[in-house]
Amino acid sequence: MGNEQLRKNIGFFVGTSLVVGTVIGSGIFMKPGIVLEASGNSTMALFAWLLGGIITLASGLTIAEVSTQIPKTGGLYAYLEEVYGKVWGFLSGWVQTLIYGPAVMGALGLYFGVLVAGFFNLSESYTTIIGVLTVVLLGGLNILGTSYGGLIQNVSTVAKLIPIFAIAIFGITMGDTPVFNIDSGSSQQSISLGAAVLATLWAYDGWMNVGFMAGEMKNPAKTLPRAIITGILIVMAAYLSVNVAILHVLPADKIVELGPNAASEAASILFGDFGAKLIAIGIMISIFGCLNGKVLTFPRISFAMAEDGLLPGANTFAKVHPKFKTPANATILQLAIAIVMMVLTDPDKLTNIAVFSVFLFYGLAFFAVFILRKRNPDAKTYKVPLYPLTPIVAIIGSVYILVNTIIDSPLDSLFSLGIAVAGFPVYWLLTRKSLK
């Protein structure tokens, strides 16, 4: 699909709201306890949220230059293929199809299940059942047509901001618990800032989608970086203020103990039972909408790969539903893998696997800026600010995350690396057939 077919109607305000809408999902409500526990005390936890934001900002600004130089649909898959060759594009799409996409959908489904079970006072055993049913329901709606998905997206973007503003404003003004340098009471043997930052990066994930909009912007060289900087700064401010607010209302060790229910508990103290119920509904709509966005977009990667003949069973997964004109088989593939993951493991493990697997390729995408600058020295596209410092920060951030995950979660890392490496023989088999 050429860039000239896309209508250039996205301005600064819409671009910024798209950044905020695609990034804010479950992490801000689900991760404060995990970040606190991993970092050991409240000040280090807030520093982890700040560091995660800085890595994300550097990453987003770097990818913005890559995306304006390679204005193709397909995101990471397209960038790596263009700069490093078909095999690297394939490997990123392979890992996104088998690990990243399903792990993100699985984690969001399970977090939604945790909150729904808590809301209706159901046993924890219902969490997985609710999560799986939600993933299946959204998969079905998105197969029926994208207009349903678009409607859910619009409603949920507004709904997600209500609990964030309410908790941040009232928590900061009405809370009386000390915020800084409070021990988390963590039972973990080792304190790891790396593990804490990894947890925040789940909350910041989604910024890669921003680069996809370059072809539809009125003036991408000017609008895209401004939208990314403004959007990510708004997200950072929201995340830091919500964490300060929750720490101001609940003791640090209580936040760790409550885990994914800490935001709901803080809301209950601030607004009473009825107010807390409204906030809980807002949080559930936020996660539901975020999950819907992933179910809508991730199968497009598998579909694009299948269209190129670069997926086992390509003929099946490249089929468009005859009536609904949606990538139904590619959607079913992603949902099936997600459901297996949901049954086998917990959402926090899935978020770590998702972030690690995608950062395997982010570093390559960040380094692509240096290659593209050499290749096209006279390109008149958007240029990343503070070059080469910004891409270097993004690269160091991604290496830091990969090394820390290997140290903290060696089995999860090996699982992701194993699937990535398995892509090499698969690629060879698929391209060997096409050469015959």
Q: How do residues 140-170 score in pLDDT, each as one tens digit? A: 988 886 555 556 666 777 778 888 999 999 9
Tell the residue number behind the tokens 């949220």, with chain if given: 49
Residue 325: the pLDDT is: 78
Residue 279: the pLDDT is: 87
pLDDT tens readout for residues 244-266: 999 999 999 999 999 888 998 99
User: Residue 6 domain-assigned?
Assistant: no
Burial classification of residue 421, based on how many CB atoms lie within 10 Å of its CB (0-12 exposed, 13-18 middle, 19 or more buried) = exposed
Calpha distance 260→404 (Å, rounded): 23
Calpha distance 352→361 (Å, rounded): 15
User: Residue 5 domain-assigned?
Assistant: no
User: Residue 281 domain-assigned?
Assistant: yes
* Below-70 pLDDT ranges, the chain: 1-9, 73-74, 145-154, 186-190, 209-216, 433-436
DSSP 99: I
Residue ranges making up the domain that contains 140? 12-435
User: Residue 4 domain-assigned?
Assistant: no
Calpha distance 342→102 (Å, rounded): 9
User: Residue 3 domain-assigned?
Assistant: no
Residue 3: the pLDDT is: 40
Give the phi and the psi of residue 125 in degrees, each rounded to 5: -65, -15
User: Residue 2 domain-assigned?
Assistant: no
Residue 317: the pLDDT is: 84
Q: Which of 163, 177, 131, 123 is nearest to 264 (CA)?
A: 163
Count of domains observed in the chain: 1
**What is the pTM for the complete model shown?**
0.88
User: Residue 156 domain-assigned?
Assistant: yes
Whether the Cβ atoms of residue 307 and residue 178 lie closer than 8 Å to each other: no
One-letter amino acid for residue 96 of the chain: Q
CATH value at residue 189:
1.20.1740.10
Residue 14: the pLDDT is: 78
Give the phi and the psi of residue 41 in degrees, each rounded to 5: -150, 165
Q: What is the dihedral of CA 18, 24, 25, 27, to 10 degrees?
A: 160
pLDDT tens readout for residues 79-95: 999 999 999 999 999 99
DSSP 11: -
User: Residue 203 domain-assigned?
Assistant: yes
